Amino acid sequence: MESGDDAEFYRLVPVCERAIVSKSDTLGINLQYNIAHIQGSTTTNIVANTGNTIGNYYVRFKPNTALTFTNLSSGTSTPSYSNTSFQ
């Protein structure tokens, strides 16, 4: 039986996923994640970076009313996005 030491994958770990509707029906959101690199029994959070270089990892989403994607912050091991009047 294999020990799994050769297994390698990436996992998006939610730190905070919050959606709040105000009394004036304004949606506010707060998203924050860790990008975990798992190899065997070792887990390392990696820094989110954008760009055209192979090996750059980042988190993005596309609101259902938008035509483009929104990237969460980069240059950090905990990418985040916050908007108090999202839609």
Q: Which residues contact 27 (CB under 8 A, 6 or more apart)?
A: 19, 20, 21, 85, 86, 87
Structural domains of the chain, count:
1
Structural domain includes residue 86: no
Tell me, yes or no, whether 36 lies in a domain.
Answer: yes
Asked if residue 87 belongs to a domain, the reply is no
Question: d(Cα 77, Cα 36) in Å, to the nearest integer?
Answer: 9
In a domain, 3, yes or no: no
**Residue 51: per-residue pLDDT:** 62
- Residue-level pLDDT at 84: 80
Q: What angle do CA 70, 71, 77 make, to 5 degrees?
A: 155
Residue 16 lies in a domain: yes
The predicted structure's pLDDT at residue 16: 92
Q: Report yes or no on 2 lying in a domain.
A: no
Q: Which domain holds residue 60?
A: 8-81
List per-residue pLDDT tens for the chain, 87 residues long: 566 677 899 999 999 999 989 888 888 889 999 999 999 889 999 888 866 566 678 888 888 888 998 888 888 888 888 888 765
Asked whether residue 73 is assigned to any structural domain, the reply reads yes
Q: Is residue 74 part of a domain?
A: yes
